[in-house]
Amino acid sequence: MSEPTATALPVTEPLPVPAPAKLTDVASLSREKLALFLSEHLGERPFRAAQLYRWLHQRGATTFDEMTDLSKALREKLKAQAEIVPLVKDLEQRSVDGTIKYRFKTRDGRFIESVYMPAEDRKTLCVSTQVGCAMACSFCMTGTLGLKRNLTPGEIVAQVHAVNREVRRNEGLETLRPLTNLVFMGMGEPLHNFENLKTALSILQSEEGPNFSHRHITVSTVGLVPMIERFGQETDVKLAISLNASTDEQRSKTMPVNRKWNIAALLDACRKFPLRQGRRITFEYVLLKGFNDTDEDAHRLRELLRDIPAKVNLIPYNENPGLGFQTTGEQRAEEFRAILAEAHVAAYIRKNRGRDIAGACGQLANRDETAAEAPT
C-alpha cells in the first residue's frame, strides 16, 4: 500500500484589509445636501435634517454627543458615517484697540487666521477662505505663503462659530450669534475657492443657521474677472474690489492678477455686476507712500470710477517687514480723499485695526510665533 502523498495547497495572497469608509463632513453640507445624506445613507426622515442643521449652524456644536434631542441610536449612526471636522484654537492675540486675532489649526496641521473687530454698533469678523494665497500681491504678507489649499465650507463656517463662542464667553452674552457682520478679507482669495465659498454663504445666510443678512456680508476679490460675473449671479452679498492702483503699470507691478485681467476688464465686469437698489461696489485702495498716493493718482482714480456706483475705502498701508513699502501719512491720505470727494466719489479713510498684533489688512501670515497662547 503506497504512502499517501501530501497535496500542496495553492499559495494565495492575503486578502487586502478594506480601507475604512470615508466619513462625511456634515458641517460642509448645504441644507439640501444634508437632508439627502440623512435620508439616503441613514434612512432618516426629513425633519431630522432640520434638527441636525440647527445644532451644527445655530448652536455651533462640535460633537454629536452635544445634540441631546437626537436619539442615541441616531447619534451612533452619525458617528459611524459622519464627522464634524474640527478647527482648534491655537493662538489668541489681543490688540490695544480691542481687536482679537485668532489662529486656528486645521486637522491636517495647517494654520489660518481670523480677526474679530468689535465696535459700538457692530461686531465684525474677518474670515479666511484659503490656507495661504496664490495671488502673490507684493505688498501682502499672506501672498508670501503661496497657496497651500482651499478651506472646505465647514472650515470657513467653523471660524464664525468658533468666534461666536469666544465672544459669548468673553463678553458674557446670551445670544447664540453675537457677530453682526462678516467680511471675507482674510487669508486667501475668496473667488479662487468659489464653490466652497458659495456653500459657506448659503449656510451663513440660512434661517436655520446663523441667519446673517446679505447686507452684512462683504466678499473681497483682487479681480478674478470671470468669477465676478458668477458671484453676482449666484450670490446676493456685497462685493469689494481690491484695486490699489490707478494705472495698469502700477497694478501689474504689485498685483500679478492684473497681467491677466487689466483694470479696464475689471471695471467692465464691475459695470455689469448686478447691484440691488441703493447698493454700491466698494473699492479698496491701499495707499503706498510714493507709489500710488499722488494727486495724479487720485484724479485718475476718480475718472476710472466715474460711471460706477462706488465707494472707496482708502487704507493706509500696514507695513510688513521685507516687502519694501511704506505707509502714506495722515495728511497725504486726507488730501487724496479730498480730491475724490470733489468729484462726488464717496471716499473714506479706513481706521486700521490690530496693527500691533499683525492683524490688519495684508498682515495675516501666521508669522508671529512668539505671542503667548490664550488660556483655554
Handedness of CA 201, 348, 364, 90 (dihedral sign): negative
| CA 83 from centroid of its chain's CA atoms | 22
Instruction: Mark whether 361 is an active-site residue.
Output: yes
| CA 274 from centroid of its chain's CA atoms | 22
Handedness of CA 177, 182, 186, 189 (dihedral sign): positive
String of DSSP letters for 11-23: P-PPPPPPPPPPP
CA atoms within 13 A on the CB side of 168: 13
In the structure, how many helices (H) and strands (E) does the chain have?
10, 14
**Which position has the grid cell 456634515?**
26
Shortest CA distance to 194 belongs to which of 259, 160, 150?
Answer: 150
Ligand-binding site membership of 243 (annotated): yes
Single-letter residue type at 191: L
Ligand-binding site membership of 193 (annotated): no
Angle between helices 194-205 and 225-234 (to 10 degrees): 30
Instruction: Mark whether 234 is an active-site residue.
Output: no
Task: Quote the CA–CA distance of 116 and 145 in Å, as a whole number.
Answer: 22
Task: Quote the CA–CA distance of 64 and 85 in Å, as a whole number.
Answer: 12
Ligand-binding site membership of 143 (annotated): no
Annotated active-site residue in 44, 113, 155, 166: 113
Ligand-binding site membership of 188 (annotated): yes
Single-letter residue type at 67: M
Ligand-binding site membership of 220 (annotated): yes
CA atoms within 13 A on the CB side of 137: 28
Ligand-binding site membership of 126 (annotated): no
User: Which segments are annotated as binding site for S-adenosyl-L-methionine?
Assistant: 188-189, 220, 242-244, 318
| Binding region | 133, 137, 140, 188-189, 220, 242-244, 318
Could you list the active site residues? 113, 361
- Residues making up the annotated binding site for [4Fe-4S] cluster are 133, 137, 140
